[in-house]
Structure 1
Amino acid sequence: MAEISQRKRIWGWYFFDWASQPYHTLLVTFVFGPYFASVASAHFLGAGLDSDAAAARAQTMWSQALMISGLIIGFGAPFMGAFADRTGRRRPWIAVFSLMYVVGAAAIWGMLPDGSNLWWGLMAFAFGFIGAEYALIFINAQLPSLGTEEEVGAISGSGFAFGYAGGVLSLFLMLLLFVEQPSGKTLIGLDPLFGLDADAREGTRLVGPFTAMWYALFMIPYFLWVRESGPATRGARVSEALGSLWRTVKGLRHRLSLSAYLGSSMFYRDALNGLYGFGGTYAVLVLKWSIVSVGIFGIIGAISAALFSWAGGRLDKRFGPKPVITVAIWGLILVCVTVVSMDRSQIFGITLSEGSRLPDIIFFGCGVLIGGLGGTLQAASRTLMVRHTDPDRPTENFGLYGLSGRATAFLAPMLIGLATTFSGSARIGISPVILLFLIGLFLLRYVTAEGDRGPCRVSR
């Protein structure tokens, strides 16, 4: 077999981001999440709750799904990373989790618009989401082998940019051809394709099978062009993987910069996931947007994410990832304060005239920053992790990174759920993400910009 060039290998790695991004763009944030919120709130409204209580109940259910799936992802990630490093193989794991992605996404079709099987929709979503996040751990572990330390920042940023471009295209196609407006027509006035029933919201529900087929198609370049870079080791045992993982965890006390970084990213990435997970539902429940409006908002956010991620990768290459992360977090904090401080009738306590479009304009601006700064933050975070990664155990180290991003993944949904329940307001419920960003920013002060080579490292 002809040897695959490094350039083609990098492009194959990029295609994972292109293939997988629709789970986050279409399902978590801009189509299925808002669809679930609208169906659930209408169901609870019909059950006798008032409008605010129904919206709060819907948001609480969504938070529970994200919380439970986050716990499963977080606590399984380090072990699987350690086991993969012991066997020397990652592609078989990626294949298994890809199957989970496809099955879970496709099953979302079965959640009916009458609210009779809300838990089916949540379980299907969670199953696929777990597969998507586990696959990402193994993909991230391949980043150090794709270029020099000076190159991986730009590679990481370009990968996220390419992925967000895929998210934009997939969302664009869903809105133009499938997702029905209240009129029963798509954004460009068509009936949903393939004879889909607008009254049964089949155009919107197709988002699950569409996401599954998109992933299956565009993962082909990855599996064709990305090969294992190290030797395989047969007969790896669970006990050996656990022992390796335990030694790595114990060794964190000698790696102070890594420990601080894992703690910092644990909080700020949880906050970012909270923004992604509840941004679309906020628009539906607080601003009363239609799913099509949320989708347009998503296109704007995803385009900005692609552009910002690419530009952020260049800034990362010039200044390093830590300053890029710091600026992105401060920008997202300002966005969160703005979002929590407005609804249809007021902003920062200033009463608006009835029917004012100012909240819509401001939230669209927030969408640009959420998408752009969020993409930049994720790309730079991946680069900073590379600077802290043991080249002999990259998947295990990225498993710990996955744990730091998911060990408290229940925290943002839980805090949002609690804040929503006690305040009775879906708007106020978003406020805990501000605290999580601030904690992450504080811990980032103790992270050495150059990783384990920096002056804060304590030798073993």
Structure 2
Amino acid sequence: MSDDHSAAGTPINTAAMTAFGREHDDVAPASRRKVISWAMWDWALQPFNTVILTFVWIALYLTSRMFLDPDVRASGLLADGSYMNCNKSEYLGSAYCSGLTDLSEWWGWANFAAGIVILLLAPVLGQQADARGNKKKWVIGATIGVALLQFALFFVEADPKFFWFGAFAVAIAAVISEIGNVSYYAMLSEVSTPKNVGRISGLGWGLGYIGGVVALIVCIPVLFLIGQDKPLAFKLVAVICAVWTIVFSIPLFRNVPESPAYASSEKVGFFRSYVVLAKNIGKLFRDNRPTFWFMLSAAVYRDGLAGVFAFGAVLAAQGFGFSFLEVIVFGLAANLVAGVSTLLAGRIDDAIGPRRLIVIALSGLVVMAFIVFALKDYGTIVFWICGLLLCAFVGPTQAASRSLLTRLAPPSQQGEIFGLYATTGRVASFLSPLAWSLFLAWFGGIVYGVLGIGLILLIGLVLLLFVRFPKDVGV
């Protein structure tokens, strides 16, 4: 993987890759209000990611015993009033534990379906937004769609009959959110310059993480006051997230102007966009080889980053014996650490370049993953320290990746390339779950799963090291 000459002998077109810099070098930086308004969309959408998808609504409600058949749920009740612990071998295979496994599997299939839709739609809709100059409209539409679907979760009763309604409502919201992200990411080049793109990208990611912390703090009292076993608590949490999404998106709606249409982006019908997309992928490979290979390497290590959060809570609870409350507290701390580190890393990005920052952060992630395993016998203190350090490296890697791609992508293809970026992230989304499961199956202990995540991150890092970027794009 390099930016060497193509097979036909045509040199790589570095002019396209420096377009971002050329078009912004003589442009005054965006106003502080515009920058903060753009970044607030990360804050606005974060409760959906943190509260609905990760820590609360899916994990504690939709895939909980509340959605089991009443007879199956009753079969899991023990004489002392507690329910079976499905981590214990004596309960494996029971109707109760099998039912919980089915719920998690079904949610996985709904999430898989969402990933396929994103794979098919994201890059094409990005190309349409570039050509028609309506990125902001897509962001507004996505915001409204995600908010309405979160409101719809209020009507998901704790009954097996409502499971698929809840699962697909969340999955469709995830699709809409990802499509909104394509245009939102592509707007980064319009509120930044080459000198501050890293800082502004980091500001968005940092506000997102901190927003997740605040959203959890707001929602957790509702769960404890009403009761974790009361469906009303989770219904109200969904409403809180919906209201949050609308309210905190208003600054972007009011203060960030609509993006211009790019004359070089071909205006075609929806289905014709797939033909244009295929041609542009081929052109990207021929003329912008570093961007092509970067997106490939990023697809691998971004899936490793996703695995850190996807399996972190499982590792804490089952591998290191964290209680429910400890897992929640760890989630709060993890988002706070990731948010602060991302805000600080934005300035480092502008100073040393996003590629160096990604390499440093990925190296830290790999080292911490293997230290967690090596020192596992020392108990929870190892996970608290190394787990939070892992989170400290995740945000900077994400933000710097967005910054790097913004520098590489020609302005007229920002939406389309960020659509491809979203697509490639989904294409590799099976790697971390596969590595996690294989390491558990081979070695028979849940702590071994962290080695699988570390391996994926290491592969992504190695792939990135082989990508050669032109020196004149400041990466």
**TM-score (norm: length of structure 1):** 0.81
Contact kept? 1:100, 1:127, Cα under 8 Å: no
Contact kept? 1:12, 1:222, Cα under 8 Å: yes
Residue 381 of structure 1 is matched in structure 2 by 401
Within 1, Cα distance between the matches of 2:137 and 2:49?
Answer: 23
Residue 200 of structure 1 is matched in structure 2 by 230
Within 2, Cα distance between the matches of 1:282 and 1:38?
Answer: 18
- Please, which runs of 5 or more residues in structure 2 have no aligned partner? 1-28, 77-83
The offset of 1:385, in angstroms, is 0.4
In the alignment, structure 1 residue 222 sits paired with structure 2 residue 252: yes
Partner deviation per Cα, 1:355-386 (whole Å, 9 max, x = no partner) = xxx32x33332442233211111110001101
CA-based RMSD of the aligned residues comes to 3.4
Write 1 or 2 for the structure with the bigger share of helix. 2
Residue 285 of structure 2 is matched in structure 1 by 253
In the alignment, structure 1 residue 156 sits paired with structure 2 residue 201: yes
Contact kept? 2:135, 2:259, Cα under 8 Å: no
Within 2, Cα distance between the matches of 1:284 and 1:16?
Answer: 32
1:396 is aligned, of 407, 416, 426, to 416
Within 2, Cα distance between the matches of 1:45 and 1:334?
Answer: 42
**TM-score (norm: length of structure 2):** 0.78
SS in 2 for 1:133: helix
Within 2, Cα distance between the matches of 1:59 and 1:410?
Answer: 16
Within 2, Cα distance between the matches of 1:129 and 1:264?
Answer: 24
The offset of 1:11, in angstroms, is 1.5
Within 2, Cα distance between the matches of 1:235 and 1:57?
Answer: 45
SS in 2 for 1:148: coil
Give the greater-gyration-radius structure (CA). Answer: 2
Contact kept? 2:296, 2:424, Cα under 8 Å: yes
Residue 337 of structure 2 is matched in structure 1 by 304
Contact kept? 2:202, 2:399, Cα under 8 Å: yes
Within 2, Cα distance between the matches of 1:159 and 1:42?
Answer: 36
Query: 1:369/1:235 Cα in 2 relative to 1: closer, same or farther (>3 Å)?
Result: same
Partner deviation per Cα, 1:221-260 (whole Å, 9 max, x = no partner) = 1101111131488974225533432222011322221121
2:186 is aligned, of 119, 141, 152, to 141
Deviating more after overlay: 15-24 vs 424-433: 424-433
1:104 is aligned, of 149, 159, 167, to 149
Residue 46 of structure 2 is matched in structure 1 by 21
2:86 is aligned, of 37, 42, 51, to 51
Paired residues for 1:47-446 under 5 Å: 51-52=86-87, 53=92, 54=97, 60-61=105-106, 63-110=108-155, 117-175=162-220, 177-180=221-224, 192=225, 196=226, 198-231=228-261, 236-254=268-286, 255-287=288-320, 289-338=322-371, 341=373, 348=376, 350=377, 358-359=379-380, 361-413=381-433, 416=436, 427-429=447-449, 431-446=451-466
The offset of 1:168, in angstroms, is 1.6
Partner deviation per Cα, 1:194-245 (whole Å, 9 max, x = no partner) = xx45541533453322211110111111101111131488974225533432
Deviating more after overlay: 241-250 vs 305-314: 241-250
Contact kept? 1:264, 1:443, Cα under 8 Å: yes
Query: What is the one-letter code of the residue matched to 1:388?
Result: L
Within 2, Cα distance between the matches of 1:325 and 1:45?
Answer: 47
Query: 1:239/1:37 Cα in 2 relative to 1: closer, same or farther (>3 Å)?
Result: closer
SS in 2 for 1:100: helix
- Please, which runs of 5 or more residues in structure 1 have no aligned partner? 181-191, 353-357, 456-460
Deviating more after overlay: 421-430 vs 294-303: 421-430
Q: Percent of pairs identical after alignment?
A: 28
Query: What is the one-letter code of the residue matched to 1:262?
Result: M
Contact kept? 2:67, 2:163, Cα under 8 Å: no
SS in 1 for 2:429: coil
Q: How many residues align?
A: 424
The offset of 1:7, in angstroms, is 2.5
Query: What is the one-letter code of the residue matched to 1:230?
Result: P
Within 2, Cα distance between the matches of 1:369 and 1:216?
Answer: 33
Query: What is the one-letter code of the residue matched to 1:153?
Result: G
Deviating more after overlay: 289-298 vs 154-163: 289-298
Query: What is the one-letter code of the residue matched to 1:208?
Result: A
